[in-house]
Amino acid sequence: MFVASQSNLTAAQLPAAPVNSGSRAGQLALRLLTSNPALIAVLVALNLICFHRTVVGYFLADDYVHVAYLWQVFHGHPELLLQNFFSNWLQAEGTQFYRPFISLTLAFDYLIWGANSVGYHLTNTLFQIASSIFLFLLARRLLNGFGKGQSTVVGFFSGALFAVFPLHCEVVSWVIGRVDSVSTAFLLASFWLFLVASQDRSGRARLLSLVAFVLSLLSKEMAVTLPPTLCLCCLICLRPQGSWRERLSYMARETGPFWAAAIAYLGIRTAALGTICGGYSGSIGEGLSGSLVKRWFQDGSLLRVLYPFNAEVFLPGDSLRRTLRSLYLISTLSLVCRLIFLRTRCGLNRYALFALGWLILSLIPTYQVWNLTETLQGSRFIYLGTAPLCLLINLLVFPLGQALASQGPIRILQQASIALLGALVLCFAGITLRNNQPWAHASNQVRDLRAAIEKRLEKLPPKKKLVLLNLPQRIQGAHMLYNASMLSVLLRPPLSSKILSDRLVTFEPITYGDSDLLIVSRLKRLVADPHGYEFCTWDMVHQRLIPLSLVPYDQELTFGPQELAVDFWNGQGQDQGKPELIASSTGLNCADLTADQYLVSPPLNLSSLATDFVEVELACTSAGVVKRSDASPPQVALIWTGHPILIFPPTNRLSLPVIADGQPHLYRFPVSQRKSWVLCSSIRAIGLDLPSGAYRNTLKRVELVSGASQIPVLSADQSHLPEDLAGVCRMSDSTCALEFDASSLAGASKVLVELSKPDSWFEHYGGGYHDRSLSEHSLRHWELASVQGRFEIPVSYFPAAGYYQVRIAGLSADGHMVGCTSDPINLQVASEQISGSSRRAAARNRSPRPKNAD
């Protein structure tokens, strides 16, 4: 129930509320409850209720980059902060952003709170609160033509919906998520002040608006959407009448300073970054642009904006899902009825059109990075967009109209809409509370990991190092630790009392990538030194470190036609759905398998380091018309378990497409490069998921083989190119020397070296390390005449500072590739190691491509 807070309003301006004519005290109480401070207090309370769990949260994922940066800033390098204003943000490699103001806010937090994460989260919450309050003020100001009462209702509920919107957890509960909330808060403030300036002709407000806009721009590039949004607002809302010339002139006059500011910003930014667009570069950026259509329009990504349930928190039948669906249905019905029966009196208005336009404008800059996953990862990209979305929802649900108070049906409809909006706010709040849980859990888990590592390292002999084979990357969409450098920050001051990171070896991606991949040759080198390293894995379920026993030995295992005879008995006299499994001298014939059936090996007890490849020889043919449901290409999948009971975790699975031509083909699963394989320690059983339905299979052979005869060996010369604990090699001088050995590859007479582009990783393109063909994305490649020896990469080959990968492949005398590529060596090249002439030389030296292996 809302009434105007000012006494000079007429009854017609108010949304009719079911007001009891009761006592004067009651009226006073009602007026107090709907006054500005009270409404703002409600918005603050809503925010605190939704995000109270993570106010005591911890640093997660990218936060560590900033913590390390701030440590530097406050330990003798304050100039770094200023550097953000005229160079790439944090001077990072792999990204090109211009967000100096964010670092200032973080530095301010560090100044007050030091490394106490609570302070940072408090600031995040404050920016979220500020955003919701500014949206409230903005919407009310925008709609003040409808009277104070109605504009207050829409304004308040816009702010309230924004406060509890379930897609805000990533921004509020992740410290560095503030990039969006800071930018949005200033953007909304700027917009609100713009409206104040336009309507009240206030010069001071206009100046403040410009200042807020500039701060927003310095926080995130998304703020460039403000000038076009203001143009839209001028044309649709502020000056809807008049000739186009007049309207455009008004628009230009009002928004001119903002355009000027935006152009100036773009100029400064381009000068600082050396590029207009920026964003992600290297193979990460290429990967994002490649799946643009899929990320926007498939997998229900856009629908998730309105239906914001974390799929791992909310099961399909959850009551909140049903509730939200019902509320949307009621809202839609109410809107449809309104449009049919009351269109002339309170149908949709131009403000809804503006809100829609604003929403579209706010989404445009995210085109490159948009990806709202099922677990709501990437929801930060819609943070700004939720502001116009909340306004739009309100405008669709609430029947705005001039002088409507005396019209009975509309009065009732308004009251019902208020109830509906209240229900939406409550429902969203319930969803947000639960969507926010994973973030609280993630914080706790990172704290637990640090404590467990500290405890474990205390017990280890001083010279022994701990090898942690996996990191908790994310839990139900909440980020934790993605790479070694993040863990390294966690394990040294200011977050840890002493430096522990120099005793922890990791196998994580250098920046981002498939966390299940592991360079097994590096691991084997460590396993060969049992006195130097202790191995363990992090159990995310029980949140504890589990010691791992890895035994390196070579053993190969073959299941031929004799061993593949399946002991199988399918119930009693059941004909329907009975698969056909017949053992013969050529192999095991399988037909009529259903999609849920799979073959399982006898018990094994094989070290996970003993096998590099599981090879399956299979002939598959389509036995008839393939059903529409089976229309996807047939696949053969390998599954495995490290537990004696035959339950195969869903993560332990690798699939390959099958050629259904009736001829036997060899399918090779590179298993040793998978953490999920290596962490089993001892492989107890493997299974095969063969093409089912209309496909007939003949399984001829299953073999677990070592890769010694297929994988060439490449290693860094530790005297010139030492490797750090995260597996990154850096030149100690200007010599990038590597040793290679492809002599075990049958038919190899020479070796080809591949060097990646800067900040690109071969596995981002090939999906793994052991490719059977050469990469089309390498920076350069060259041949070495021998199959064993040492070579150096000239520094001039590196065009810029950054991360590089080097790998080799064996070549036959006729230039065909033999076996597969070696495990890569990760290099980091510093800018000071590169000279200008080397860049030019790099452009000249390009050798012809060798042929790929068949």
Q: Contact residues for another protein (CB under 8 A)? A: 18, 20-22, 337, 341-342, 407-409, 412-413, 541, 559, 563-574, 577, 579, 581, 588, 594, 596-603, 643-647, 649, 687
How far apart are alpha carbons 807 and 184 in whole angstroms? 45
Rank residues 177 and 472 by Cβ distance to another protein and give the closer one: 472
Q: CA-to-CA distance for 414 and 397, rounded, in angstroms?
A: 9
Q: Which CB atom, from 262 or from 581, has the smaller least distance to another protein?
A: 581
Q: How far is the CB of 346 from another protein (least distance, A)?
A: 12
| CB closer to another protein, 86 vs 341 | 341
CB of 598 to another protein, least distance (A): 6
Q: Are 515 and 509 spatial neighbours (Cβ–Cβ below 8 Å)?
A: yes
Interhelix angle 63-73/79-86, nearest 10 degrees: 120
Structure tokens at 106: 């973080």
Distance CA 788, CA 784 (A): 9
Please say whether the beta carbons of 264 and 227 come within 8 A. Answer: no
* Comparison of 244 and 569: residue with beta carbon closer to another protein: 569
CB of 342 to another protein, least distance (A): 8
Three-state SS at 580: strand
Which pair of tokens denotes residue 538? 């992090």
Q: How far apart are CA 548 and CA 675, in angstroms?
A: 12
- Cβ 534 to another protein shortest distance, Å: 23
Distance in Å, CB of 1 to another protein, minimum: 12
256: its two tokens: 């001119």
| DSSP-derived 3-state class of residue 536 | strand
| Complex with another protein: residue 442 or 688, whichever CB lies closer | 688
Write the secondary structure of 602-621 as one string of H (helix), E (strand) and C (coil): CCCCEECCCCCEEEEEEEEE
Residue closer to another protein (CB basis): 65 or 604:
604
Region of 378 on the Ramachandran plot (φ > 0 left; ψ -120 to 50 alpha; else beta): left
> C-alpha angle 797/803/806, rounded to 5°?
60
Given the complex with another protein, which of 409 and 693 has the nearer CB atom?
409
Of 8 and 23, nearer to another protein (C-beta) is: 23
Least Cβ distance, residue 405 to another protein (angstroms) = 13
Contact residues for 481 (Cβ-Cβ < 8 A; gap 6+): 60, 61, 64, 446, 449, 471, 472, 473, 487, 490, 508
Rounded CA separation 104/765 (Å): 37
Residue with tokens 């900033």: 66
8 A C-beta contact, residue 143 and residue 155: yes
Check: CB of residue 469 under 8 Å from CB of residue 548.
Answer: yes
Residue 668 beta carbon to another protein: minimum distance, rounded to whole angstroms: 20
Q: How far is the CB of 309 from another protein (least distance, A)?
A: 21
Our CB check for another protein shows the closer of 644 and 794 to be 644
Q: How far is the CB of 332 from another protein (least distance, A)?
A: 14
Which is nearer to another protein, 28 or 333 (by Cβ)?
333
| Per-residue burial over 457-468, b = 16 or more CB atoms within 10 Å of its CB, e = otherwise | beeeeeebbbbb
In whole angstroms, how close is the CB of 540 to another protein at the nearest point?
12
